[in-house]
Chain A
C-alpha cells in the first residue's frame, strides 16, 4: 500500500555554475540562469510504501509524515533563496532534479527498514514540469 502526502513551498533560485561564464550558463539553463534569481511555488508529493498496521489500519500516521515534511522541507525551504540559504545549494545547482535528490536524503532517514519506507519523491516545479525520484538505484521503483 502506498500513501502520498503533498506539501507546498515557495523559494527562489538561480540555476548557474559559478565556474562557467554567462554564455555557457545561458545555453544550458536558459532563463533560469538569470543571476538575480527567480521563484516557484514548488509542490512536493511524498509517497511511502508499506503494509497497513493490523491494529490501526494505517501505513503510517499521516500526522507523523506531515511533521517530518514540515521539519525537513517546509521550515528550511519555504520563502528562502535556495542558493543563499539552503545547503547544499550554495555549491550544488538547485535544479528540480538536484532538489528532488536532496529531499529524498532528508526524508529517507526518518523511514528506516522495518516500517513504511520512502517510495517516491515527486516535485512539481511548475504546472508543466515535474520530476520523479525513486531513490538511489531506483530502490522505491515498483516491480
Chain B
C-alpha cells in the first residue's frame, strides 16, 4: 500500500455566522471571522489516495482522472467564489467553517470516486485543507 497526495489551490471568501444567534453571540463565537461582508483565504487542498502500486504502470492512481475529478467536483464550483452566497450547502445555512468545507469536499469526491476509479481502484484516504500558514484541518476518509 502506498499513499499519493496531490495538492490543489483555490481562493474563496466566507463568513462564519449562525442565523439563529444574536449579533453579539456571533461575534463572541466567531470573532473576526464574523466580519459582515466576509473575508477570504488561499486554501490549499490535499487529496490523498491509497492503493497498491500497479505492476504494469508503477502508479497508484490515474492522476489526470483525479485532477479532472477535483476540478469538476470542487475547484470549478469553489474557486474565486463567496462560499456563503454561491456554493451549496453554505448557501442553505451550513456555516462554511473549514471543518465543514473539508467534509463537503469529502462528500463530493466520494460521490463520484467509485465511478471514476472503479470498485477495485485506489481509495480516498484523507482530505486536508491548509487554510492559512497557521491553520490546518484534516479528515480520514476510511
Contact = CB atoms under 8 A, between A and B. Distances in A.
Interface in A28-83: 28-30
A132 B5 contact: yes
Interface residues on B, range: 10 to 19
B56 A131 contact: no
Interface string B1-38: 11111111000000000000000000000000000000
B141 interface: no
A129 interface: yes
B7 A95 contact: no
Main secondary structure of the interface of B (DSSP, over half): mixed
B129 interface: no
Interface residues of A, number: 23
B57 interface: yes
B2 A133 contact: yes
Interface string A118-143: 00000000011111111000100000
A15 B7 CA distance: 21
A116 interface: no
B7 A128 contact: yes
A92 B60 contact: no
A133 B51 CA distance: 11
Nearest to A94: B58
A100 B60 CA distance: 12
Contacts of B62: 28
9 contacts: A93-B58, A95-B53, A97-B53, A101-B53, A129-B5, A129-B6, A129-B63, A131-B4, A131-B60
